[in-house]
Each structure stands twice: as structure tokens, then as C-alpha cells.
Amino acid sequence: MSEIFLLNVAGLSKGFGGVPVLANVNFSLRGGERLGLIGPNGAGKTTLINVITGGHAPDSGRVAFQGRDITSLPPHRRNRLGLARSFQILSLFPEMTVFENIRNALLRYRGRHVQIWRRLSRLEDIRAEAAHYAALVGLGQALDQRVDTLPYGEARRLDIALVLAQQPELMILDEPAAGLSASETRDLVAMLQATIGTCALILVEHDMDVVYALADRIMVLDYGSVLAEGTPAEVSANRQVRRVYLGAAAG
Amino acid sequence: MTMYERVLQRQILAGGHAGRQDKYGEAGATLLLLGVLAAAPLFASRATVNDLGQAVCLGLFAISFNIVFKYSGLLSFGHAAFFGFAAYAEALLLQFFGNLPIPLLVLDAAASTAILGLAVGQICVRREGAYFSMTTLAIGAGLYSIAFKWSAVTGGTDGLDGFMPDTLTILPGWQWDSPGIAQTYWLVLAILIPSALAAWALLELTPFGNAVRAVRQNEKRAKFLGYDTHHVKLANFTLAAALAGIAGALWAIDNSFVSTDSIDLTFSTTVIIIAFIGGTNWYWGPVIGAVVYIAASDWLSALTPHWQIWLGLAFILLVLFAPGGIAGLVRAGWRRANV
């Protein structure tokens, strides 16, 4: 009976300075499942992601990944289990090139990040693999460009390339379309649809078109609690959800 | 932004982008610097070679400080703990095992210092900014008072001398009877330069060095990419401690005298001044800083007993107007010439 979920979140609560941000959040995710996480500003979406990936310790509750309790593991150990994330506020290696950024992700994923007997510049296989991931996100021509000179939209895609390069079991994208133009957003959705494959996804996003295009299940968070959960059709028909988040126009 | 972060930022901005021109320039400057240092006894006076011997040891020490500063963004205020510990260790090793080869004894002192660095780093490296600095300061002060009080081992305020054997064993079967200043200087360089080059290669050419730089640039992202950032910083700190250990051990050999001067807190600030004078953005910059520092203190102390005031003033001006130090000024001139 007890099916092993890829991710299992049980009774998660978290407060900051006495203000509750997450209150008894429960949900599960199967392998390959794509969950859209929506809700008004301050609903606790980013906090939930931080608790799942290890950025914050919860006040109570537990997080299990592939049947293993990871509640007290630091972020780097969770990453090594197959959990990778992007950031709402861009978090890259600004003084390195696009190639070097992806290489940082690859060297770690391949367990070669602390080698002291190899020359960094001679790792041809890593170079080829990095070029592959750069091309996947449309940065094939920008490999040797420094990241602090990259246009914002391209930096956003690089952020996702770092996640893809580690071939995670679960990728968590925190507002990947934030700040992108309409056409950039369309490109991003197409790129993600083509590259996610069998990887499970948790997608935090305000742009509902992006959510509908990528998620096969939606969870609505409001005041730190799960307000509704279901297929996109179920959630968008939910009266409460329309009142607190989608607004009357969504109907 | 705190004062500390601003200083750090200025240092980094002074570095700018490194192009291909710069790479050749830096390689050329490195060869020139090391070549001049190695050839110095051929044309310089005995007194100058004597000073240079001290300067290169201080230079390696300042490189060690700068490895923590430049590659991990941490400002150590107690770095003399490692230098002094190694100097005492080397003095005692020479006293009791003076017939063993010198490189082995230096390696021994460096390994002990690396272990000390690992233990100290375990405490300090988890902290950031001013908290890291204060922790290193406290530990530096602690080690100083041990050296000061435990006179049975360290000689207290008198220090240790007379530990140099008359005959130095360079390698098994290769001995020097009462070597001269130039010989000792070359012995020091023969250990010092390869050590510094090895640390440079580790940091600039290998995946390990890449991890250190990635953690320096964005620790949060590195963590979420699976890097154990604490251990990466700890490894870099330990590497720096080992290098400070080599510097301290060679200092003991070069000076034939070790006192609390090589472990006290003033010396921990001297090394910061040296690194900043030379320039923290170029790996070898601190060596230039050490040569200039020794020369300037010789020259100024002959002119006035208050020489440290003038040196301090010059340091303030340099930090304000040339945050890249002497190496930064040279680099700026080189870039202008190559436009």
C-alpha cells in the first residue's frame, strides 16, 4: 500500500520571528510529476521551496526525498541526492563565463570538483557537455561571455542550464519567467517543454500561462496553508482560488 | 554595506578583467621577479642579500595571507600564529634533528602547521566578515601568549637561537659546512619558489581551485549545486596555513633566531600591510610588497626613529589611491601601454 513518493512533505510549519509563514503543509510528488505552486505574494511559496531544498530548517514537520528523511540535511547533501533548484533572484557566478558557470554545475555533478591532479583547461569532455547544455537553453553562441555582461533574459536561461546540467530527479524553479518579456517567456516555456523530460518539477510562477503550459497538477498556497490542489481545470474552477488569487477575470 | 565589504569590493574592482595580453604580462612579470630574486647574490651586496632572504620569507607569508583573502574573501587577523608556530617548530626540529635533510625538516614544520591550520580553520572558517577576523585575532593572541609564557620550550622573551647546526644536510650525502649568506639564500629560494608555484598551480589550474573560486563568488549557489562550501574554504585555509608554515620554517633557517616577534599580533598586521602594498590581485604581488616593506623600513629607520608613522601614512595613501597596490599600478601602466 505505502507507495514511495519522490517527495513527501508532511506537517511542515515555519515562522519568522513569531509570524507563521507555513502552517501544516502536506503534499507529495511522484517521479516525473509536474507541480505548479501558485498563490498571492507572501503566501509562503519561496519559504516552502527553501525548506524543501535546505535553505531554511522547518519549525516542525518533515521532508522525505525518495523515501529518505532529509529534513536535517544541509543543501549540498540534498542536491547530491538529485534535488536541484533555480532562484527567484538570479544567483550565478558573475565573474565567470557562461561555460565556466555550467562547468561549476557539471564538475560537482560528475564528482570531479575537488580533483587536484587534473588540469581544468584540459577537461575536454566537460567542455563538450557544457556546450551541449548551453545550446539546450539557447546560449550556444555565448559560451565565453562573462555572466555579468549577459542580458537578463539570457542569464535567466543560464540559471536553468545549471539545473539541467545536474540531471536531477526533481527540479524546483522559482519564478523562472520573472522579468521576462512575453516573447522571452514563450521561448522559455518551449525550451522547458523540450528539456524537462522525465524529471519531476515544482514550478513557482505568477504567469498562469506558464503554469498551465508546464504543470499537470497545481497547488495553491495562501497564508502558509494549502488552499486547493488538483488538475489545472479543477483549480481554476475553484471558487476560493478565484477569490484569493486568480481574480474574477480568470473566469 | 559594511566597511569591511567595501574594502573587499575595492580590492576586487581594482583587479578588473584579465585578458590575454594580461596573461602574458603576468607570466612575464612572474619570470622577471623570480629571476631577479634568484640571481640577486650575483650582483647584490651581502647586506642586500641578507635583507632579501628576510623579504622572500615575508613574501611567502604574505602570499599565504592573500590566499585566504583573495581566494576565500576572508581577512585573517591572526595569521602570524601559523608563521610563528612553524618558526618555533623548525628551530626545535633543527636543534634535536639537525642532521636530517633540511627539506624534510621544512616539510615537517609545514605539515604540523597545516594540521594546526585545519584545527583553527574548523573554528574560524564557518564565520564570515568581521566575525572570521575576530576569531583569527583571538586564536592568534592565544598562540602568542603560549609562546610568551612557555619559556621552557620557546625561550620566552629571549627567544631561541644557536639551533642551527654547523653542517647543514641538504640531501642525504650532500652537506654544507657553515654555509654563507648567498648559499643559505639559495637554499631558502629552492624550497620557497617551488612551494609557492605549487600552491599557485593548485588554485589556478585544477578543479579544486575552481571550486574555491566558485565558493568565493557565490557561496549560496555553490551550496545548492552540491558544493560542501565549508570544506572547500577549510581546505583553502589549510593550504594557506601550510604555506605560512614553509615561510616560518625558512625564516628560522635564514635568521638563525626565532622570537615572539614572529608570532605577535603586530606581525599579523604587518603581513596585511605587506600584502596590500604589493597588491592582492596578483598572486606574486605580496612578494613585491615584502621587498618594498623591508627596503622602506631599512631606509626610513635610518632617517628617523618614528619611521613607523611614515610607513603607516604611506600605507593609508596607497590603500586610498591605489587599492591594487604596486602590482595594480604596474598593471594599469601595462594596460595603458598596450591599448
- Chain B residues with CB-CB distance to A146 below 8 A: 17
In the CATH scheme, what is the homologous superfamily, with its name and number, of domain A1-82+169-191+199-251?
Answer: P-loop containing nucleotide triphosphate hydrolases (3.40.50.300)
This prediction's pTM: 0.92
- Nearest CB neighbour to A76, from listed B217, B218, B226: B226
pLDDT for A91: 96
B122 CB burial (10 A radius; 0-12, 13-18, 19+): middle
The dihedral sign for the CA sequence A56, A60, A65, A68? positive
For A43-65, the pLDDT digits (tens) are: 999 999 999 999 999 999 999 99
Q: Is A146 on the interface with B (CB under 8 A)?
A: yes
Q: How many other C-beta atoms lie within 10 A of the C-beta of residue B62?
A: 33
Number of A–B residue contacts, CB under 8 Å: 89
- Chain A residues with CB-CB distance to B213 below 8 A: 96
pLDDT for B9: 59
The dihedral sign for the CA sequence A172, A37, A178, A237? positive
Per-10-residue mean pLDDT of chain B, 339 residues long, equals 58 56 86 94 92 96 97 96 96 92 95 97 93 95 93 86 87 86 94 97 96 96 97 98 97 92 92 94 95 92 88 88 90 83
> Does A112 sit within 8 Å of B211, measured CB to CB?
no
CA A130 to centroid of chain Cα atoms:
20
Domains of chain B as residue ranges with CATH: 20-171+179-337 (1.10.3470)
CB B288 within 8 A of CB B279: yes
Q: CB neighbours of B258 closer than 8 A, spacing ≥ 6?
A: B84, B87, B88, B90, B91, B159, B160, B161, B163, B251, B252
Shortest CA gap A73–chain B (Å): 12
> Does B218 sit within 8 Å of A108, measured CB to CB?
no
Tracing cell 497564508 back to the chain, one arrives at A223
Q: Is A144 on the interface with B (CB under 8 A)?
A: no
- Chain A residues with CB-CB distance to B203 below 8 A: none
User: What is the residue extent of each domain of chain A?
Assistant: 1-82+169-191+199-251, 91-167
pLDDT at A169 exceeding the cut of 90: yes
Q: A interface mutation test: which of B215, B225, B231, B233 has the most A CBs within 10 A?
A: B225
pLDDT for A241: 86
pLDDT for A168: 96
> Does A162 sit within 8 Å of B226, measured CB to CB?
no
> Does B223 sit within 8 Å of A74, measured CB to CB?
yes
Q: Is A83 on the interface with B (CB under 8 A)?
A: no
pLDDT for B197: 97
